Structure 1
């Protein structure tokens, strides 16, 4: 693939968010990006996979608690009750937006990996005291650190701090890690394609999270038995 790999990069300087929720996500990310990232390389993100994986799998109990009919998915009404229980103050519109954003298969139910993405977005978007209390009510002290690591990883990749990761930013991040390896461009492209769900050439935080659940193998724990062999 051609194209110049630049540090400042994206040819489209002002990427327009498609939804109000995405705009909030991007804004929150830009704010975080201004604080910088503790990550030093793409490898340092990969090294954290096992710990993140373990922490995210511990969310299964919460997921099951809110999946009241135990059908393996949280529907719209269950999600509303979930927010009520956690006393997170979201408006009806915000809940709808979050549900639509995270129900990536559009099957009107949130699977476990979609629920993890939702929790992480709630973490990113709600930094007021009430939300902090809700997080502690979930009873998962490790989860906050895990979400913070994911935010940090995204900020590391977002070199120009615009709230999105572009293809050339991904290539740049992986080139830093695998300097001189001929395959590094291919690896970067593959990773980027795995992240860019809507194929618009830019990756927002939500898309990054979905790719992440896939990378650590959470994207369909329930289907593992049927598939036999887990995708790497």
Structure 2
């Protein structure tokens, strides 16, 4: 008989797996695909000295920002750190360590961690600060820099649907870093918008097989924020003077 992977809420799903000084992977890209219930629950545990692997560190008042604001993160391994004043202030004051990665390199380092590949070579970053202190190698007359895998103690990911066995389906761009992160941690906790019975999901449409997922919760609701909304005035409205 398979063990029960379904937990009643985010708090209970984190019990017994968080500790000071741990490394956490958190899915999401901007405000899309964030585990927005697990992150506040993580804050409430009081865990500190975290190393967090994520594309970015949330936005004002939302996502990983809440952990940053609470002083629980010591180091970020990220790709995009713009538009986050708190992040900039902490980094420039020496209170936050940052390991900056080109976005594709970050994704591949996570994928490598899940695939058991300790290192790989890439041309991205050669001759820049990204390559400082890293071994290089020449292949076919081109210089490549060696990057190492990324792994975590816990990965928190967000999916659209999941079944009780932990099989996950992501929706559109909310997939982003989530599937790779789900494979690269000792414990993977998923939050989903809907939990369905095994056999309900189309096997060909499953993005993360349940073998990678240890715990799963159904979130009570999702805001689905838009980070930046840009609109263009319609020519007809301009001609009629509606925006004057």
TM-score after normalising by structure 1: 0.24
Larger radius of gyration: 2
* Structure showing the higher helix proportion among its residues: 1
Bigger RCO (CA 8 Å, 6+ sep): 1
TM-score after normalising by structure 2: 0.23
